Amino acid sequence: MGDAQTGRKSPDDRRGVSVKAAVARTRWQQRKKIATRRTILETAMRLFDDEGYASVTTQRIAAEAGMSQITLFRYFPTKEDLVIGFPADGELPGMLQRAVGERGDGESPIDVVRRMIPHVLGAVEQDQLDGLAARLRIVRSDAGLTAALYARIPRWVDAIVGMWDGARADGAGADADDGAAMGAGSDGTVMGTTIRHDSDDHGSDFRVRMEISVIVGCTIETLFEWSRRCDATGSADIDELTAVVSESVDALAR
């Protein structure tokens, strides 16, 4: 408590003001970061739509967005990232992390995706659909960008496999005999990942990687098909996206 007679604040009071100021500053910085990212993306999408992806330089995008190239590259390390990248701290990676972490015993990657789809589609706003449709249209219009998208598949697969193995290591133990048989450490892990060898375990490395590879490839083809249908109808429609996703899930289940 402060001293009522002198008007001086106690150290606790001063720390409280400091915390409030720090929180306010952090919130302001986050809002500024979101606004800057949005400005860059909106500028880039407009220029790509008007002049074509290959014709627009990052220098031009930065200039029209009112910033330096250095600032642009802090948010998007490459020109490709403006179209086919997404922030690691974005909503979708976080949603995927939670879905993987909450998976039940015996759930495969495809099972997790089936459970996750209604939440993803239910959370999509129209402006996000419009932005996604615009980005897909740009990707489809440029052969080099399309190739770059497919070239990123192994990286995305590795990231999701690592997420899967990390969640398993946190939530499941391994038999000591299993660890010894694999030459694992005494804690039943290799590089921090729990080793399991149950014949029905969906966490076996090959099976998980195969399923995740199929899911990533299927996701890209599903989005491309939705993009083509958007071109035909002239709108980015959530019902059409839901229909295409349902067709893809049915195909995976066969």
pLDDT at 84: 92
pLDDT digits (tens, 9 = 90+) for 98-136: 899 888 888 999 999 999 999 999 999 999 899 999 999
pTM exceeds 0.85 for this model: no
pLDDT-flagged residues of the chain (< 70):
1-17, 87-90, 168-204
pLDDT digits (tens, 9 = 90+) for 182-197: 222 333 322 233 333 3
**How would you label 204-234 residue by residue, b for 16+ Cβ within 10 Å and e otherwise?**
eeeebbebbbebbebebebbbbbbebbeeee
pLDDT at 165: 87
Cα–Cα distance, 38 to 35 (Å, whole number): 5
**How would you label 106-119 residue by residue, b for 16+ Cβ within 10 Å and e otherwise?**
ebbbbebbeebbee
pLDDT at 7: 55
pLDDT at 87: 64
pLDDT at 95: 86
Cα–Cα distance, 192 to 184 (Å, whole number): 10
pLDDT at 60: 97
* Top-level class of domain 1-79: mainly alpha
Cα–Cα distance, 121 to 127 (Å, whole number): 13
Owner of token pair 């398993």 = 168
| CB distance 215 to 110 below 8 Å | yes
DSSP strand E in the chain: where? 189-190, 193-194
Partnered with residue 193 across adjacent β-strands are: 190
pLDDT at 254: 74
Domain boundaries, the chain: 1-79, 84-253
Best CA proximity match to 99, nearest among 89, 108, 87: 108
CB atoms under 10 Å from CB of 29, counted, come to 10
